[in-house]
Amino acid sequence: MSTSYVLIVFALVIVLMIVLISKCKVNAAMGILLSAFILAIALGTPWQDIEGTINSGFSSTIKSVAIVIFLGCTMGTVLEKTGAAIRITKWAIGLVGEKHMIWAIALSSAILGIPIWADTVVILLIPIVSMLAVQTKKSMMSYGTALYLGALVTASLVPPTPGPVSAAALLNVPLGQAILWGAIVAVPSVIAATFYCMSLKTPVAPKEEFLAAARETEHMELPSLSRSLLPILFPLALIFVNTAASVLVPDTQIANFCAFIGSPLAALFTGCILSLLLTGKDWKSKKVLNDWVNDGINAAAMPIVVTGMGGALATFVKNAGVAEKIAEVIAQSAFPAILIPIIIAAIIHVVTGSNSLGVMTAAALVEPMLATLGISPVAAFLACGTGALMFKHANSSGFWVTVSMSNMDVNQGIRAVGGASTVAGFVGAAVTCLLVALHVI
């Protein structure tokens, strides 16, 4: 089978997958599965091996992330429903003061984007942000965009949000490293996007319905700041302790114990247990112990299945030598290898509108190429995460949630959300390329 045939087939299958998901509105999991079938047949995979290969690729991919994604979504559900998100936002406002209110919005949004979907962060906090816009006489074009972008960046780069968790698993990046480097790259991305939001001064007033909702929550009883932050920060601390112990005291009983408590599963399960502190006397009720867990399962189902399907597709890519052929062509040219995952993730994101899908699918496609391209798994992880931030626009649910709730029209939304997300992605990609050039990652 010639190299040109393999590359043409691969390109056509990827285009088909993107068209099915974006234009035909086929569910992402079904679109990827159909693409895997077509790729397998076109590359001459024996008929009797296709089903086994798909099952093997699916199961081997999700075995290390399915429970982690479920626990992360469950913890996020508790933070949403208990008022912890509002408490963290009010703390950030008090921290920076009224003159720098937009930085408080971006900070709280970035923190909440670690365990909670970016769209949900907007829905939760738009009333309080609307009230802040009135108090400071700022445009919702600026404040609403900052609210979304902070969460979008961390949801694309910092586990345990499903997208980066899945990408880390697909690329075999330890979760501790993914969190550390994701946070390092997320910081300048959020800062750059916030500066861009500060330049958006077209007057856009908040919706009255959200101002009324904000007034209703002013007297709402909220959990303390320590209880609100504990479920987020404690699991991250356990994961970092595990990483440190494996370096400082390897092959000891201490390292073995830390490896257990700092494993993604144990750490996030601990976060879920700690989140019960936010529920007060309701912690043992059916609503908390069953209904909210069901909500977490529903939120986790899609990313788990899509991740597994991405792993199945990647298995055919790897078995047929597609990745090696693509990587060899790139390696023989002067094209910088680190740009490949950035471009793949950006294309998938821009066409489908989903940054999670961009991160996960790009990671699945790039993983077999890493050795030939000569880039590390960590570099590929960051490249996929930053590429998947590029240019949010009208095919994205997050775009519409932010634009409609911030009272913007479509053109204002393209300029605000589309522009800020591109700035965040470009800066994050530039930082990633710099780290690669300096041989840090």
Q: Which of 13-27, 59-73, 159-173, 320-334 has the highest mean pLDDT?
A: 159-173
> Measuring CA to CA, how many Å separate 219 from each of 81, 123, 226?
16, 19, 20
pLDDT: which is higher, 64 or 117: 117
Owning domain of residue 110: 3-437
- Which residue is associated with the tokens 């626009």? 393
The total of structural domains in the chain comes to 1
What confidence category does residue 1 fall into, taking pLDDT thresholds of 50, 70 and 90?
Answer: low
Query: Would the pLDDT of 307 be above 90?
Result: no
Per-residue pLDDT band for 323 (boundaries 50, 70, 90) equals: low
Give the separation between CA 287 and CA 271, rounded to whole angstroms: 18
More confident residue, 307 or 427: 427
Q: Tell me which residue has tokens 């586990």.
A: 159
% of the chain at pLDDT higher than 90 = 51
What pLDDT, on a 0 to 100 scale, did the predictor assign at position 393?
Answer: 84
pLDDT at 187: 97
Q: Per-residue confidence at 117, pLDDT binned at 50, 70, 90? A: confident
**Alpha carbon distances (Å) from 399 to 24, 318, 402:** 20, 35, 5
Residues 6+ apart with CB under 8 A from 270: 234, 235, 238, 261
Which of 276-280, 317-321, 349-353 has the highest average model confidence (pLDDT)?
276-280
288 vs 125: CA distance, rounded Å? 22
Tens digits of residue pLDDT in 248-298: 888 899 999 999 999 888 999 999 999 999 998 888 899 999 999 999 999
> Residue 327 above 90 pLDDT?
no
Mean pLDDT of 36-54: 91
Burial of 25 (0-12, 13-18, 19+ CB in 10 A): exposed
- pLDDT value of residue 80: 85
pLDDT tens profile 177-196: 999 999 999 999 999 999 99
Residue with more model confidence, 202 or 10: 202
Q: To the nearest 10°, the Cα dihedral for 200, 203, 209, 212?
A: 90
Most confident of 157-171, 260-274, 375-389: 375-389
pLDDT of 435 above 90:
yes
pLDDT of 433 = 97
